[in-house]
Amino acid sequence: MDALIMAAAQSLEAGDPISALNRVALRNDAHALALRGIAMAQLGDLARARELLQAAARTFANDEVVERARCIVAEAEIALVSRDLGWSARALDEAREALEAYGDQRNAAHARYLEARLLLLTGRLDDAESLLATLDPDHLPPASRAARELVVAGIAMRRRHAQPARRAFARAEAVAHQIRIPALTMEVASAAHTLDAPVAHLITEGGECPLLLEELEALETSSTLVVDACRHVVRDVHHEISLATRPVLFALARSLSEAWPGDVRRDTLISRAFKTQYADDTHRARLRVEIGRLRAELRGLAEITSTHQGFVLVPQQAATVATLVPPIEDRHNGVLALLADGEAWSSSALAMALGVSQRTVQRSLDTLHAADKVTAHGQGRARRWAILPVPGFPTTLLLPVPYSD
């Protein structure tokens, strides 16, 4: 490579795409096309960046395996940033294997880091953590080392582990300040700020209050029976029962926990669990059946005792009862949580990340759009949805974490 190409590459690594373009903007050889593509990506023109990288990959000779593999890795990163989750993961694997075979450990490690980011984005935390464990940070360029720590922090936050997240953010900030890339420094600072925002609200006998991540983590180890409306589980320090697939039972459990230590009238339970304002004998009979099912689910955690007016929740081992709710409650919290990262998402990418059908996501988007909560641009397959992040709390913490059987 000539001196201009080397100088442009150094400018890009330092986070200065304008200087890089000044050196290679008028050149159409393969290396220049690749560098122009990366520069355009840093400037935010992802569509043009993708075109240039694809052109570079076609222009490189057949024996320039490493150079073509690097273009594929760069294109995969653009696809991830633009939330094109349907991009070929196999192509990225093949590019990584080629880089490893030819000794380019730095870019091979970057390819693994991109895989970990995708796994985090789609909620596969165990897989992401296992992949990061095999990744040597020393093989990553400095900017990617900082970004890797953001993935580590993201995994910790999704698992509600505050201190590991703070340590990861501190490492990311140290690297960002060392390499002095303003955009990266701002990204790390913005992500770290989420640790100082409320992640949930706690409803107890004494009222309602917001919780920080550290406080939420402490709650999980306290002698409190928690009905968690963020993840639809009921738990104490020893047991956890998921009611994510039993919405009626969870609605009953939540109603009982919010009223603790008092009872809840039968008509109120029928209204909240069955979504009806008119209770008749069939509803009361169904309520008795569902209460029996909830008793069976909560065996070992709590009893449900009948009273003259209704039912009351009685914890068996915990000293108190609390209800944990999201900072903002919306039927479409999952979609809002993903859109709140500020990126433009397709409905297919949202469906892939949430593990639901694209039609389900489209109905949610239509509802949110009608309520002026999301915006859309483009038509057909190019249609993308976006939202400005809701200030005051980290919406990504609303995303559920898959539970093992």
Residues 6+ apart with CB under 8 A from 243: 232, 233, 234, 249, 250, 253, 297
What is the rounded average pLDDT for all residues in the chain? 86
What is d(CA 227, CA 211) in angstroms, rounded to the nearest whole number?
15
Report the pLDDT value the prediction gives residue 267, as an integer from 0 to 100: 93
| Mean pLDDT value of segment 187-207 | 86
**With contact defined as beta carbons under 8 Å apart, do 401 and 126 qualify?**
no
Question: How many angstroms separate the Cα of 97 from the Cα of each of 5, 112, 133, 144?
Answer: 25, 10, 18, 19
**Any idea what the Cα angle at residue 388 is, between residues 346 and 143, rounded to 5°?**
80
What does the pLDDT look like over 16-39, one tens digit per residue?
A: 889 999 999 888 899 999 999 999
Question: How many angstroms separate the Cα of 93 from the Cα of each of 29, 70, 117, 203, 358?
Answer: 26, 12, 14, 47, 26
**With contact defined as beta carbons under 8 Å apart, do 199 and 228 qualify?**
no
pLDDT: which is higher, 286 or 279: 286
Report the pLDDT value the prediction gives residue 340, as an integer from 0 to 100: 74
- Class for the domain spanning 3-196: mainly alpha
The answer to whether domain 3-196 and domain 200-325 are alike in fold is no
Indicate the pLDDT class of residue 43, thresholds 50, 70 and 90: confident
Residues 6+ apart with CB under 8 A from 349: 83, 84, 85, 86
3-class SS at 240? strand
Report the pLDDT value the prediction gives residue 395, as an integer from 0 to 100: 40
What does the pLDDT look like over 152-187, one tens digit per residue?
A: 999 999 888 999 999 999 999 998 888 887 878 888
The answer to whether residue 294 scores a pLDDT higher than 90 is yes
* Residue 351: CB atoms within 10 Å: 20
The answer to whether residue 46 scores a pLDDT higher than 60 is yes
What is d(CA 336, CA 280) in angstroms, rounded to the nearest whole number?
37
Question: How many angstroms separate the Cα of 335 from the Cα of each of 106, 330, 374, 390?
Answer: 35, 10, 10, 13
**With contact defined as beta carbons under 8 Å apart, do 190 and 387 qualify?**
no
Q: Where is average pLDDT lowest: 80-84, 121-125, 152-156, 329-333?
A: 329-333
Report the pLDDT value the prediction gives residue 384, as an integer from 0 to 100: 84
What is d(CA 190, CA 142) in angstroms, rounded to the nearest whole number?
19
Indicate the pLDDT class of residue 373, thresholds 50, 70 and 90: confident
The answer to whether residue 273 scores a pLDDT higher than 80 is yes
Determine what percent of the chain falls in helix, strand and coil, rounding each to the nearest 5.
60, 10, 30
Report the pLDDT value the prediction gives residue 389, as an integer from 0 to 100: 44
What is d(CA 355, CA 119) in angstroms, rounded to the nearest whole number?
13
What does the pLDDT look like over 123-135, one tens digit per residue?
A: 888 999 998 888 8
| Mean pLDDT value of segment 321-333 | 83
Ramachandran category for residue 300: left, alpha or beta (phi over 0 → left; psi -120 to 50 → alpha)? left
Which residues share a beta bridge with 375? 386
| Mean pLDDT value of segment 323-337 | 81
Give 248: exposed, middle or buried? Use CB within 10 Å, 0-12, 13-18, 19+: middle
The answer to whether residue 369 scores a pLDDT higher than 90 is no
Burial 133-150 (b: 16+ CB within 10 A, else e): eebebebbebbbbbbbbb
Sequence spans of domains, the chain: 3-196, 200-325, 332-387
> Which CATH topology does 200-325 take?
Arc Repressor Mutant, subunit A (1.10.10)
What is d(CA 153, CA 164) in angstroms, rounded to the nearest whole number?
7
What is d(CA 199, CA 306) in angstroms, rounded to the nearest whole number?
34
- Class for the domain spanning 332-387: mainly alpha
What tokens were used for 5? 């190409």
**With contact defined as beta carbons under 8 Å apart, do 346 and 380 qualify?**
no
